[in-house]
A and B are shown apart, each in its own frame.
Chain A
């Protein structure tokens, strides 16, 4: 009889409507890594350096582009993309750097665009073609210069965005990240101060660049810089040399700034035109020796050839 009563009670209970209240989720339901180092994937070496300086032991920063590739044009395969997808934080340079990132699928909530803060100040590359479809169609955007980190003040902004992303992911390490960021900021400001002093008398001195990658650098220090498309280890053809001669006729530069050491025959040919060669490495990928700051400091020393420090 008791058993029957229990069953009947259960039957009655089955008639009661549910009284569950909806709950609000916090976050999107994805379990973020909350212990252990923050796994960070970046798209170029300067960002790797900033992430490691700021994150220290709390961060495991990865930059999987091959050593010899230009990260701006690297195309990762599905395995590498899966690694980016699994990261806690994905750091992109912005300013259209690494166009591959716009053609892959990444979790948007993890992506940090380090150039958003100064996107109003992006430099459009002159001479780049845009197109539309039909007279009324929308045009594509023009090319944007993307070596933003060559302006130390913009590099500080980018590092700040990384710091903010780390703090958002690991609030308990905020003080640690702030301390590390302050040290990095101090180093970059010292670099900037040195360059400001070095180029204080540059005026309109015409300069040449082997590649159009120094736009932000030139703007920061007010340099009168025109670019060509010379590769350090690839002798330009006669058409390129003629074009250079025409350019020098209106832009009488005595120095060309290179991304890497040019070959001897190129140096000699330039010398014959009265143009010296100085290396100012953009260090988009890992340097053979040293780190980002060491390379930048060497760049400053190299620049002293053009702008003697007396």
Chain B
């Protein structure tokens, strides 16, 4: 057997260019469909990991996909808002812990996420520099935000106006950066987190200004009826919350009417999850409840349908390549007729000669398969990193 393999090896080594082409073709035949499938599965896992880790999301009736994309990935257009009472509804149900989310504003394209401290616990976010936000007007920023804007603890960021042309719109708010979050390898790295009350201040629901009951504020008073004061539009509102003016900040209207874009619900168990979902089945309900994993899987199923065509194409191509390789072997045998005759003349049996030929084929196939397997393992190992880089680009 050794001699047979030696002869096969010497032949392949002598015709190295042809051997290399055949091995490459065999490798690609095996690797392309398998490696593609591995990459696609890893892509799907990467894209849905965050959705898998978020049990339920409640939002205003509308597109579930838009709700999930905005709440989990801070992408898509800002969905319709609903009242804070929807958060209270979940919190008081005793079926799930509730986290309110209000994402409407941004700082130079980086989303401002108004929420509670429970969000950071839920996502496992840790402070890497500085400290946790303590008072209204403070924020903590994701690691990529800190790098992109060049800010750290003690610096400040200013919320971007919603529209350059709306001079009567929301005032930008200057916020102090209390801390920078540790790298989380996800959308949270690109976000700026504030207390939801700070987000409401940016929205203008809460604000601070001089005390209208004081004599010095008479220019800002439109009318006064006993102790009810109506202020006019000349009252300047503070665009930064400081130690000196923090006490003047207040909110108008009822808390239950304040806006949120979503409520993340973390049920206690499967039964609680089912019960909570059941409470939103009424078609008259102003809110909807979605399972993010299901929404993302539907999206990926649609987007990745094309993979089947690609894999089918790769298989067809592989078959064609295999046929070509077979033709190469067949033609090669014909061209080696004199060589084969020589082997017979020097005493080689038909079986031995056949084994030499077969060994050449087996070696090429084996080396090709081995390379394909190695490439597949490498794809499985490093594909996730590559996909994350591509997602972030």
List residues of A (95-118) whose CB comes within 8 Å of B's CBs: 99, 102-109
Contacts of A24 in B (CB 8 A): 55, 267-270, 272-273
Other-chain contact of A134, B117, B134, B212, B231 (Cβ < 8 Å): B231
- The 8 Å CB contact of B377, one of A10, A15, A137, A138, is A10
Q: Which residues of B contact A85 (CB under 8 A)?
A: 117, 132, 134
Of the listed stretches B59-67, B248-256, B322-330, B340-348, name the one at the interface; the rest are far from the partner chain: B248-256
The interface-forming segment of A25-33, A51-59, A227-235, A297-305 is A25-33
A129 close to B (CB within 8 Å):
yes
Task: Report B101-144 CB contacts with A as 1/0, cut-off 8 Å.
Answer: 00000000000000011100110100000011111101000000
Nearest-Cβ distance from residue A108 to partner chain B, whole angstroms? 5
Chain A contact-residue range equals: 35 or more
Closest Cβ neighbor of B251 among chain A residues: A140
- Cα of A127 to Cα of B133 in the assembled complex, Å: 36
Interface residues of B in 60-107 (CB under 8 A from A): 97, 99
- Determine whether the beta carbon of B252 is less than 8 Å from that of A139: yes
Q: Are B373 and A10 in contact (CB under 8 A)?
A: yes
Q: How large is the interface on B (under 10, 10 to 19, 20 to 34, 35 or more residues)?
A: 35 or more
Separation of A73 and B97 alpha carbons in the complex (Å): 32
Residues of A within 8 A of B233 (CB): 133-134
Mark A11-52 against chain B: 1 for CB-CB distance below 8 A, else 0: 110110110101011111110000000000000000000000
Q: Decide yes or no whether B275 CB sits under 8 A from chain A.
A: no
Instruction: Assess the B131–A130 pair: CB atoms within 8 A.
Output: no
Stretch in A74-82, A176-184, A253-261, A265-273 with 4+ CB within 8 Å of B: A74-82
Contact of B118 among A20, A22, A108, A142 (CB under 8 A): A108
CA gap between A138 and B251 in the complex, in Å:
9
A81-B135, A104-B134 as given contacts; A25 in contact with B266, CB under 8 Å: yes
Indicate which residue in A18, A127, A137 contacts B45 across the interface (CB closer than 8 Å): A18
Contacting residues, chain A, for B252 (C-beta < 8 A): 132-133, 137-140
Interface string of A119-147 (1 = CB under 8 A from B): 00000000111111111011110100000
A16 to B370, CA, bound (A): 19
Closest Cβ neighbor of A131 among chain B residues: B229
Residue A7 CB within 8 A of the other chain: yes
Quote the shortest CB–CB distance from A99 to chain B (angstroms). Answer: 7
Let me know if A130 and B229 touch, CB within 8 A: yes
User: In the bound complex, what is the Cα–Cα distance between A25 and B293 (angstroms)?
Assistant: 14
Contact between B38 and A15 (Cβ–Cβ < 8 Å)? yes
Q: A4 contacts the other chain (Cβ, under 8 Å)?
A: yes
A8 in the interface, Cβ–Cβ < 8 Å? yes
B374 interface hit (Cβ, 8 Å)? yes
Q: Which residues of B contact A (CB under 8 A)?
A: 34, 37-38, 41, 45, 52, 55, 97, 99, 116-118, 121-122, 124, 131-136, 138, 178, 195, 197, 212-213, 222-223, 227-233, 235, 246-247, 249-253, 266-270, 272-273, 293, 366, 369-370, 372-374, 376-377, 379-380
Chain A residues at the B interface, C-beta cutoff of 8 Å? 4, 7-8, 10-12, 14-15, 17-18, 20, 22, 24-30, 75, 78, 81-82, 85, 99, 102-109, 127-135, 137-140, 142
A-B interface, 9 closest residue pairs, ranked by CB to CB distance from nearest: A30-B121, A138-B253, A81-B134, A131-B229, A11-B373, A129-B213, A138-B252, A78-B134, A107-B117
